[in-house]
Structure 1
Amino acid sequence: MNTPGTLTYVYAVTRPTDRLHEVLADLRGIGRAPARLLTPTGAALGSGPAPPAFVASDVPARDFNETALKDHFEDLNWLEEVARTHHDVVQAVAAHAPVLPLRMATVYQDDHRARQALTDQHHTFTQRLDQLHAQTEYGVKIYLDPTTHGPQPPTGAETPTAPQPPASPGKAYLEARRAQHHVREAVHRQAQQAAEAIEAIAARHTTQRVRHAPQRGALTGPQENVLNDAYLIPDDQADQFRSAIAAAARRFPDVRIEVTGPWAPYSFAMPPADAPEPPP
């Protein structure tokens, strides 16, 4: 039940387990509010496994109503804090139960509206949880190291050491640019070969792939991200997948291959069929 002046914030869909109930007893969400499970409204929805439930907590209406969210989405510090807490809750649940992460700032007017949405989407959530059973998301990224991109063009006139004749500044610049271009082409060819090797490994060990746009800016630093894929991997294949990627990485010394995870299946979780009702 909501406390006065709050809305219902939903982090994920899950299928309750005994261990999850224990974890939720100590789990805190946004603003240190206690996390809780919301189950569907009405009678039990069939026999068999427990029906899907929402992991939720109360959030202040003043910060999460429609108008406030528009302002907060311009505040990077606020966004970072909310995103980190959202992720921490999802990961805590994923460690003990199947989970479908929901988008950050999925908010309902109250628990009753959230339970009704859960009931309305029972079939969709049940089907997706079944499809993701015993599978986990891993990321694979390829980076180009800027130090492999060849020599930098000279900034002024430089005379090579003897016995080579002096080169004009213009000629030295062009030669340096040509060498830089050749090295960069070779590195890109190696990155392409690495991507093909990863694709072959994925065909043996993964069930789904999502290709994300390469990352840019502060997320990558001086390195250039040229591949940013997410894979859904059966839990009994995860060790083989990681080992195979590590072995492949040793064949391509001029690029960096990074494996991240395990993650909750953010890239593979189906969003709700209907958008949440905007809070008041």
Structure 2
Amino acid sequence: MTGLRYVYAVCRPFGTPLQSQLTGVGGAPPGLLHHHGLIAVVSQVPEADFGEEALKAHLEDLDWLSATARAHQGVIDALTTVTTPLPLRLGTVFRDCSGVRTMIEAREEDFRRTLDRLEGRVEWGVKLYLEPEPEPEPEPESAPAGPAAEPRPGSGRDYLRRRRTSTHAQEERWQRAEAFARTLHERLSRNSEDSRLHAPQNSALSTVPGRNVLNAAYLVPRAHSEEFVELVDRTKDEAPGIRVELTGPWAAYSFVGEAAP
């Protein structure tokens, strides 16, 4: 194998083969590098794209970054169906196989401890969105005002009163959404082995409608995933105006902790 070594994940040996048509970053099929009873899942990538300076430049290219992330995730998803992978960060590259083995030896204790904790477990993501309020229907057009028409007395006060009422209503909706998010997170945490609260998504940068109230991940034994999914599904009609979004099962990215390089 020539070129640099791109490492997707570390895991323990597994018996079920990966999909024969699986390709990774740059279109190369992933291979398995065995060392000290662990496996690094790797593929060959060109130095022209993944050398230090080239990689820095590529990370500023959103199209390249998106394609690379999809290929990386595709390998992790395939691994998740046959074993418990410990995902490494996007763009983890070594000069050769010897560098990968050195990395495994340096982090072997962390890898084994984290794999013990994650064995047989998957990550489920739950997001809550406060749906946008429906746009008010436009008022019917009135007849054009004559030359003697004057503003109605008190119309400015009426406008300010409507603004205050609207602001108050929005604050109440947000408070109800936050209360529901806290309750749901507590409920889901009791039905999972671990949980992580991530920062809400920035509405201005998101293509998803609504304001993100909860962005959380839950570590669930694979054998209990069906019950967890049913629990989330039962909450979807509890709070009108709030959308519950469930994603997964994923490799336990949020629970890798210090084991990731």
SS of aligned partner of 2:44: strand
Q: How does 1:209-220 map to 2 (within 5 A)?
A: 209-216=195-202, 217-220=204-207
CA distance in 1, matches of 2:22, 2:55: 24
Matched-pair contact (CA < 8 Å) for 1:190–1:254: no
Please provide the CA RMSD for this pair.
Answer: 2.5
Correspondence for 1:190 among 166, 176, 187: 176
Correspondence for 2:34 among 4, 29, 39: 39
Residue of structure 2 equivalent to 1:14: 11
CA distance in 2, matches of 1:112, 1:197: 49
Q: Please give the TM-score of this superposition, normalised by the length of structure 2.
A: 0.87
Residue of structure 1 equivalent to 2:254: 267
One-letter code aligned to 2:243: R
Residue of structure 2 equivalent to 1:140: 126
Cα distance change on mapping 1:81 and 1:231 into 2, 3 Å: same
SS of aligned partner of 1:146: coil
CA distance in 2, matches of 1:28, 1:204: 38
Deviation at 1:218, TM superposition (A): 4.1
Residue of structure 1 equivalent to 2:210: 223
Q: Please give the TM-score of this superposition, normalised by the length of structure 1.
A: 0.82
CA distance in 1, matches of 2:19, 2:230: 34
Correspondence for 2:224 among 231, 234, 237: 237
In structure 2, stretches of 5+ residues that fail to align are 144-151
Deviation at 1:121, TM superposition (A): 1.8
In structure 1, stretches of 5+ residues that fail to align are 46-50, 159-165, 276-280
SS of aligned partner of 1:53: strand
State yes or no: 1:77 paired with 2:63. Answer: yes
Matched-pair contact (CA < 8 Å) for 1:153–1:176: no
- Identity, % of aligned pairs? 38
Correspondence for 1:88 among 68, 74, 78: 74
Deviations 1:62-117 (A, max 9, x none): 11111111111110000000011000110111111111111000000111110121
State yes or no: 1:61 paired with 2:47. Answer: yes
Residue of structure 1 equivalent to 2:109: 123
State yes or no: 1:181 paired with 2:178. Answer: no
Residue of structure 2 equivalent to 1:252: 239
| Count of aligned pairs between the two proteins | 251
CA distance in 2, matches of 1:239, 1:194: 23
Residue of structure 1 equivalent to 2:25: 30
CA distance in 2, matches of 1:247, 1:269: 29
Cα distance change on mapping 1:167 and 1:59 into 2, 3 Å: farther
SS of aligned partner of 2:112: helix
One-letter code aligned to 2:22: L
SS of aligned partner of 2:90: coil
Matched-pair contact (CA < 8 Å) for 1:142–1:226: yes
